[in-house]
A and B are shown apart, each in its own frame.
Chain A
Amino acid sequence: MQQNEFIKIVSPFKDKLFRLAKRLLVSTEEAEDATQEVLVKLWTKNETLSELKSVEAMAMTMTKNYCLDQLKSKRASNMTIVHNNYTDNQASLQQKLEDEDSLSWVEKIINDLPEQQKLIIQMRDIEQYEFEDIAKILDMSEATIRVALSRARKTIREIMTKTHNYGIG
C-alpha cells in the first residue's frame, strides 16, 4: 500500500482516534503522541490492512488499548501531574468565556467517570457509533454497553443538575 493510499484510508477517522485518546489521557500533547503512535503501528501492519473488515474499528481498539496501557504505567510510577495541568488550562479558559463555562463542566464530569464509561460516552454520544460497532471495539456485549451508557448518562445528569442548582438557582 502506498503512503497516500494509507493516508486516504486513515484520514476519515484520525480525528476520532485523537478525541478518544484525549478523552482518556486528558492532555492534548499525550493524546497527539498516542494518535501518532497508533497510526505508525497501523502503517507497519500495512500489508494485512486490506484483509480487515474495518480498519477504523481496529484503530479504535488499538487507541483504546494504547491509552489504557499509558494510564496504567503512569499510575504505576505515581504520576498525576497531567491532570493538574489540565485543570489550570480550563480555569483560564473559563475566565475568558462565560458561555463555555457549563460546557467545560460537562467535560470535567465526563473525565471523572470510570474509564469504561468514558469510552462508551465518547464513542456513542460524541462519535455516534452504533452499539454494534462499540461492542466490537470494546469486545463487550451490547447489553453491557447499554447499561454502562445509561449509568454514565445518569451520572452526568445528576451532577449537572446539582451544579445547575447551586450555580444559577
Chain B
Amino acid sequence: MALDRIENLIDKYFEGETSIAEENELKVYFSSTDVAQHLKQYQTIFGYFSQAKEQQFTQEIPLQTKKRNVVLWLSIAASVVVMLGVGTMMYFNNDKEEQFVACSPEDNPELALQQTEKALALVSEHLNTGIESVSYINEYEQSKNRIFKK
C-alpha cells in the first residue's frame, strides 16, 4: 500500500473526514507487521480499536416478564380449580336437599309420609347438634355449682 496514501488517510482521519471503508484500510495497514517507523505511534490506537471490538456480553438475557406471565397463568389455573371444587360440592349438597319432592297426602299418602318422616328426621338431627352444644353448658353449670355451693 502506498505510504503517501496512508499518510493522506491519517490526516483525513484526524479531521474526522474518513469513511468507514477508509478507516478499515487504516486498520488493516496498522495490523500488518511492516508499518513505517514514523507511523508506529498510531499503531496502538488502531490496535486498541480492533481489540476493543472483541469484547462480548456473556450474561444471559433475563426476560423476567415471561416468568411473570407464567405465574399469572398458574394463579388463574389454581383459582379455576378451586372454583370448580367449590361448585361441585355445592352441586352435590343441593342434590341431598332435592330429595324432598313436593306432593300432597291426598294423591300419594305413602310418599307424603316418607317425605314427612325424612323432614322430621332432618329437623331432629339438626336439633340434636344444637342440644349437643347445650350439654357443654350443663357441664359448665355443674362445675360452677360445685365451686359456688349454694
Contact flag A160-B45 (CB < 8 Å), given A128-B23, A130-B20, A153-B16 = yes
Contacts of B17 in A (CB 8 A): 146, 150
B140 CB–A CB distance under 8 Å: no
B14/A153 in contact, CB under 8 A: yes
Q: Considering the complex, which residues of chain B in the window 1-44 have a beta carbon less than 8 Å from any beta carbon of chain A? A: 13-17, 20, 23-24, 41-42, 44
Q: Which residue of A lies closest to B55 (CB)?
A: A19
Bound-complex Cα distance A46 to B63 (A): 11
Neighbour of B65 across the interface among A36, A44, A106, A107, CB < 8 A = A44
Cβ-defined contact, A150 with B57, below 8 A: no
* A93 lies within 8 A of chain B by Cβ: no
Looking at A6-14, A50-58, A72-80, the stretch in contact with chain B turns out to be: A6-14
Instruction: Provide the residues of chain B in CB contact with A127, threshold 8 Å.
Output: 53
User: Which residue in B44, B57, B61 is a CB contact (below 8 Å) of A7?
Assistant: B61
Q: Chain A: which residue is nearest B16 at the CB level? A: A150
Q: Judge if A81 is at the interface, Cβ distance under 8 Å.
A: no
Collect the chain A residues with CB atoms within 8 Å of residue B44's CB: 102-103, 105-106, 160
Interface of chain B, main secondary structure: helix
Q: Distance in Å from the Cβ of B12 to the closest Cβ of chain A?
A: 10
Contact partner of B63 (CB less than 8 A), chosen from A3, A149, A150, A161, is A3
The residues of B that contact A10 with a CB separation of less than 8 Å are: 61
CB within 8 A of A156: which of B16, B45, B53, B55?
A: B45
Cβ-neighbour of A125 out of B41, B49, B56, B63 (below 8 A) = B49
> Are A103 and B51 neighbours in the complex by a CB distance under 8 Å?
yes
Other 15 A-B pairs with CB < 8 A, given A130-B20, A150-B15: A7-B61, A14-B57, A15-B55, A32-B59, A35-B57, A36-B59, A43-B65, A103-B47, A103-B48, A106-B44, A126-B52, A128-B20, A149-B16, A153-B14, A160-B44
Chain B residues lying within 8 Å of A83, measured Cβ to Cβ, are none
Complex-state Cα separation, A153 to B14, whole angstroms: 6
Chain B's closest residue to A154 (CB) is B14
Chain A residues near B63 (CB, 8 Å)? 3, 6, 40, 43
Q: Which residues of B contact A160 (CB under 8 A)?
A: 41-42, 44-45
Closest A-chain residue to B21, C-beta based? A128
Residues B16 and A107 in contact, CB atoms below 8 Å apart: no
Chain B residues contacting A62 (CB-CB under 8 Å) are none
Minimal Cβ-Cβ distance residue in A for B62: A36
Complex CA–CA separation, A160 to B48 (angstroms)? 12
Task: Collect the chain B residues with CB atoms within 8 Å of residue A147's CB.
Answer: 16
Verify if A64 is at the interface (C-beta below 8 Å from B).
no
